[in-house]
Amino acid sequence: MGGREATMVLMDENGKRCDGRTVDEPRRIMIKAGGLKNADGSAYIEFGDNKILVGVFGPRDVHPKHMSNTDTGILRVRYHMEPFSVGERKNPAPSRREIEISKVIKEALEPAVMLDKFPRTAVDVFIEVLQADGGTRCAALTAASVALADAGIPMRDMVAAIAAGKVADTVILDVNNEEDQAGQADMPIGYMPNLEKITLLQLDGVLTPEEYKKCVQVGVDGCKLVYELQKKALNDKYFGNSGD
């Protein structure tokens, strides 16, 4: 954020964005529930050019034991980017960014997962970013919710996520990598549509109070679209002919 490529045209005179989308048009989203034989639950998502795989394991014994809680289960999340997932090879060691995103996703999922039903256990969520193109935390959070549901973990709701933002002084839905790098603001939002609760809200950039409210509204409406695709992915696996 902050106009590193300020000369780039992010919106043309017809209101079309750099990838041809309109202001409130999300990228193509495809979600598949299941797919990993050795995981208790899994999901794969393509969110524009982001490609992310999630495996869920548990509830299972906690190692090391002192991390367990006698009153509740614990959720552990590891967000990891493959070295080849970005243009410039990423060091395979966990970066500060990956540690932060793991924490953010964990805290965004916790209100949705009924961990109190599994005291002394852990549910582990492994997120592998195979290809990144802006908005990986939202895509990963969306897929992780589906993978948790696929694992049969009792949930209050699923968390759907997408980013709102601002480019060329205009509020937009679903910020891609160019818009993230050269735009004015990026606001990832995670939302539980049934409970009408936001579980993730970050903001990188500067917005007026009116733009802030508009971004939240646009983001929440976008999450509702994503939610339909999450439900479709689970329906396709459990009631459709996907063959998993």
Is residue 103 a contact point for ligand CDP (CB under 6 A)?
Answer: no
Q: Is 190 in the site for ligand CDP (CB under 6 A)?
A: no
Measured from the CB of residue 131, what is the shortest distance to ligand CDP in angstroms? 9
Query: CB of 7: closest distance to ligand CDP in angstroms?
Result: 19
CB 142 within 8 A of CB 75: no
132 touches ligand CDP (CB under 6 A) = yes
Give how far Cα 173 sits from Cα of 81, 112, 176, 177, 216, Å. 24, 24, 9, 13, 10
**According to the binding rule CB under 6 A, does residue 179 interact with ligand CDP?**
no
Stretch that binds ligand CDP, among 12-20, 27-35, 127-135, 217-225 (CB under 6 A): 127-135
For 133-160, give the secondary structure using H, E and C. CCCHHHHHHHHHHHHHHHCCCCECCCCE
Specify the stretch interacting with ligand CDP by CB under 6 A; choose among 5-13, 14-22, 59-67, 86-94.
86-94
DSSP assignment letter at 118:
S
* Amino acid residing at 196: E
Residue whose structure tokens are 């601002």: 166
- Per CB under 6 A, 27 contacts ligand CDP: no
Q: Output 81 or 147, the one with its CB closest to ligand CDP.
A: 81
* Number of shown-chain residues binding ligand CDP (CB under 6 A): 12
Residue closer to ligand CDP, measured from CB, 40 or 46 = 46
Residues that bind ligand CDP (CB under 6 A): 86-87, 90, 97, 132-137, 177, 180
